Structure 1
């Protein structure tokens, strides 16, 4: 199965990028693919074997879901790998001059088209980059 990859350049120091990516209070601010959705709760135990859960809901209350998983590898400021259900995702943080490349590769699911999954994850990553840069 081919992985889906999304990436974004974040113009901020890598320690700030890492902190905001993993801090539950910040996750609740940036973790959205569109203005009509939001993350209402985030729990994050960032360590191998630790678990995370982000409750994402439509702002009109019509639907919601928990995006949750277990960390399998954590290398501070470099890489996070996790399982969610029977799928795997890897997040790479790479310093590039005064910016940080954040790249996420993940196993697609079988319900929604690949293009829709890629667009959704890219929108969330773009929201993350805008949020981090707004905090500078």
Structure 2
């Protein structure tokens, strides 16, 4: 099943794209809640390139790597990637109200669809706040 989340960022497309694809930025916004953070990020933004974000609980009790391979890149428009046996697409579209960032991803069986939607939406909301704070 595919799940979709989205936000509209009030910033120019080049700023939105850069914040989404730059490791230093990713470390600042990539968390679903205040008790998690991203301690390391790497990005090889090209088709066939790899990415990895190390996500850890702030109390040090657990962590995991979110990693995969970029399968399609259209600058300022689209990022497609695979992670494990799942895939995701990030679409960027300029609108009169800013840049709409829409993430569509394959669900997984360990968590409910609602839990997955809420978690990914929280990360995207953090992304929006991060870009807004940089303006």
TM-score of the aligned structures, taking structure 1 as reference length: 0.98
Which residues of structure 2 form unaligned runs of 5+? Answer: none
Contact 1:10 1:133 in 2 (8 A): yes
Residue-by-residue CA offset, 1:97-122 (whole Å, 9 max, x unaligned):
25000000000011011100000000
Contact 2:16 2:99 in 1 (8 A): yes
Distance in 2 (CA, whole Å) between partners of 1:44 and 1:8 is: 22
Which residues of structure 1 form unaligned runs of 5+? Answer: none
- Shift >6 Å, 4+ stretches: none
Aligned to 1:75: 74
Distance in 1 (CA, whole Å) between partners of 2:68 and 2:27 is: 16
TM-score of the aligned structures, taking structure 2 as reference length: 0.99
Distance in 1 (CA, whole Å) between partners of 2:4 and 2:96 is: 22
Q: How many residues end up aligned between the 2 structures?
A: 135
1:1-136 paired onto structure 2 within 5 Å: 2-136=1-135
Cα-Cα RMSD: 0.6
